[in-house]
Amino acid sequence: MSRPLLLKNGRIIDPANNIDRIGDLLVTAGKCRAAADSPPPDAMEIDLTGKWLLPGLIDIHVHLREPGEEYKETIASGMAAAAAGGFTAVACMPNTTPPLDSESAISFVREQARLAQGAKVYPVGAVSRGSKGRELADMGEMRRAGAVAFSDDGQPVADSQLMRRALEYASNYNCPIISHAEELSLSRNGAMNEGAFATRLGLRGIPGAAEEIMVYRDLSLAAYTGQRLHLAHISTAESVDLIRRAKAAGCPVTAETTPHYFSLTEEAVGSYDTNAKMNPPLRTAADMEAVKEGLRDGTLDAIVTDHAPHSILEKEVEFARAANGIIGLETSLPLTLCLIREGVIDERRLVELMSINPARIIGVEGGSLSAGRRADITVIDPALNFCYERQNIVSKSKNSPFIGRHFTGKAVMTIVDGEIVYSAA
Ligand SMILES: [Zn+2]
């Protein structure tokens, strides 16, 4: 049993309980305790003057690469990187080798996570067998083994009838389908956002329509079936607008974006930097502004990383041939804190986007510091200046366009079930 913790003098930001005050938080037996409870004599006192105490951050879109590509990331190394970024839980996507499409695969992930230390891991199961897009995987057995959602992420579910059936079946298990919205016939062989900039670089483009057509299809299927849809990594202004209108019409949809879509534009590709290559690609300044507005006005529900570790084998190659994706677990919070300083969101909204809503979307505990809840807590030093440097990256892979960037604010302590799993000191 972990030692009781008395977290003193921090700014407790707990919007679910309408709390934003300086105070103490007591943790015993892995759970948050009421403010009135008196601390046991063996409690470890930690002074958090100047720090923020938040309900643990939850990232519902990460790629952990195990099984199959352990040289990029393992479940254990991903859990450690997540904890170092301030996350108390992550949901991992099933596009491993082999894909997570069975009870035994889901159980394997949970067992590996149980043996390691760091953020909790919630597996996402595949929509289709082998993520091949032909027949539905057995969602029931995966749900019983602990899957929290279903997705063929990495690839779209191209067949509309299969997507419709997936939405219908997943509803039996009270799980959302997470859609990777991409019309492959438009995006195939594309390396970056389509437009003048891609032309100048001589790279094949991916138009925004490749995303928007599938966003529209899936909104249409969610509205028709009445079943829960979650749209992954939204990158364009038109997608944000489609979601805004669908929500206004009562469609049961939630949506996420990533820090790179609100922090970078296609110009980051610059001189063929493969760490600016992802799918969907970085878009225009107008798209970036629309994504920010979506985060501000509630159209977008969650900030996720789409943490996609790759080694130099996949990244230090010709741009068109380089793998898609960047790591994100250790830069997500610092980049989101920039949105607060820009006046796009406030602290309360950050907690909604990174804790409350992610927990709600995948149906797990979290998002509040209520007495009796599991003590999953993120401690942030909002004034800490640091440079994100390659040698300090906890993730096994180092593919980030943010290396060398100076930030203000990061997680300095991560507590999972009352246990300190990361501490900067
Ligand atoms: Zn995806």
Q: Of 282, 275, 260, 266, which Cα lies nearest the Cα of 314? A: 275
Structure tokens at 19: 């709390």
- As beta bridge partners, residue 10 has 23
CA 193–ligand 1 middle distance (angstroms): 16
Does 368 reside within a domain?
no
Residue 36 and residue 110 share a domain = no
pLDDT at residue number 2: 80
Residue 283 and residue 243 share a domain = yes
d(CA 79, CA 85): 10
Residue 419 and residue 350 share a domain = no
Instruction: Tell me if 300 sits within 8 A of 230, measured CB to CB.
Output: no
- As beta bridge partners, residue 31 has 28, 374
Does 306 reside within a domain?
yes
- As beta bridge partners, residue 45 has 6
Catalytic residue among 14, 306, 376, 381: 306
Residue 196 makes CB contacts below 8 A (sequence gap 6+) with none
Residue 41 and residue 121 share a domain = no
pLDDT at residue number 35: 77
Does 17 reside within a domain?
yes
Residue 338 and residue 380 share a domain = no
CA 180–ligand 1 middle distance (angstroms): 5
Structure tokens at 316: 């230090």
Looking at 362, 388, 414, the residue that finishes a domain is 362
Instruction: Tell me if 400 sits within 8 A of 274, measured CB to CB.
Output: no
Other C-beta atoms within 10 Å of 78: how many? 32
Other C-beta atoms within 10 Å of 271: how many? 7
Token pair 């199959």 is at which residue? 68
Residue 282 and residue 183 share a domain = yes
d(CA 323, CA 312): 10
Q: Among this protein's residues, is 306 annotated catalytic?
A: yes
The CATH number assigned to the domain holding 412 equals 2.30.40.10
Does 367 reside within a domain?
no
Residue 416 and residue 278 share a domain = no
Other C-beta atoms within 10 Å of 342: how many? 10
Task: Give the domain extent around 157.
Answer: 56-362
| Dihedral sign of CA atoms 64, 66, 72, 76 in order | positive
For every residue of 214-283, DSSP letters joined together read HHHHHHHHHHHHT--EEE-S---HHHHHHHHHHHHTT--EEEEE-HHHHH--GGGGTTT-GGG--SSPP-
d(CA 324, CA 276): 9
- Count the domains in the chain: 2
Which residues of the chain have a pLDDT value below 70? 1, 425
Does 177 reside within a domain?
yes
Angle, helix 237-248 to helix 209-225, in steps of 10 degrees: 10
CA 153–ligand 1 middle distance (angstroms): 4
CA 325–ligand 1 middle distance (angstroms): 9
**Between the CA atoms of 177, 181, 184 and 188, what dihedral angle is there, to the nearest 10 degrees?**
-130
Instruction: Tell me if 261 sits within 8 A of 291, measured CB to CB.
Output: yes
Residue 406 makes CB contacts below 8 A (sequence gap 6+) with 385, 386, 387, 388
Residue 144 and residue 45 share a domain = no
Does 87 reside within a domain?
yes
pLDDT at residue number 34: 85
CA 310–ligand 1 middle distance (angstroms): 15
The CATH number assigned to the domain holding 318 equals 3.20.20.140
Does 308 reside within a domain?
yes
d(CA 172, CA 176): 10
Task: Please tell me the total number of residues recorded for the chain in this structure.
Answer: 425
Structure tokens at 292: 């920010």
pLDDT at residue number 1: 63
CA 151–ligand 1 middle distance (angstroms): 9
d(CA 401, CA 264): 9
pLDDT at residue number 271: 86
Looking at 362, 383, 412, the residue that finishes a domain is 362
Residue 331 and residue 193 share a domain = yes
d(CA 39, CA 310): 46
- As beta bridge partners, residue 257 has 303
